[in-house]
Amino acid sequence: MAVLATDTASGYHRLYRLLMTMILVLLAGCAGNPPLDVRDTSGAEQDLSIDRVLIINRAKEALGTPYRYGGNTARGMDCSGLTQISYAAAGISIPRTSQQQFDRLPHRDVARPGDLLFFGSGSVSHVGVYIGDNRMIHAPGSGRTVRVSNITKRYWREHYRGTAGPAP
């Protein structure tokens, strides 16, 4: 009888450990990406620093530019080239690739117009300039042009990695 009680207790212990492991795995999966929080001004660009206005205006000038991997000119640009030239318009030098920008720029909990939004599955592979009203300007990829996208779309929320930017 004592052996049966020990076997039952051991079985319950194994079941308990299995359930706890499954719960931890599920919780870890839910905690993968931070929430994409934004704080817009009251819609008036005068509420933004001059640096942020220059960054946004330069990104808007790039709308329609063809995507070109490694590019950062009017002939073609990739996502990190777009952000690099946008920040250069405000006299701010930032690293070249989206991963380097994510790793080296000051992170923010809440995105403001002019900040950079980073995306990827695992590592960072895409970046855009947040322009307010849940929109960003980015260079989406081969065969496309620099465009405005709504960040409330499921894809962006699921792949969001963080916000960063050195602009005051």
Selected catalytic residue, list 13, 30, 126, 159:
126
Hey, is 15 helix, strand or coil? helix
Residues 7 and 47: their CA atoms lie apart, in Å, by 69
Is 126 marked active-site? Answer: yes
- Of the candidates 30, 79, 107, 159, the residue annotated as catalytic is 79
Residues 141 and 67 sit within 8 Å (Cβ to Cβ): yes
Among 155, 135, 138, which Cα is nearest to 147's? 138
Is 107 annotated as catalytic? Answer: no
Mark 44-60 as b/e (b = at least 16 C-beta within 10 Å): eeeebeebbbbbbebbe
Q: Which of 165, 161, 142, 143 is nearest to 151 (CA)?
A: 161
Catalytic residue among 13, 30, 107, 138: 138
The CA distances from residue 109 to 38, 66, 84, 103, 166, in Å, are: 9, 31, 21, 15, 13
Q: Which residues are catalytic?
A: 79, 126, 138
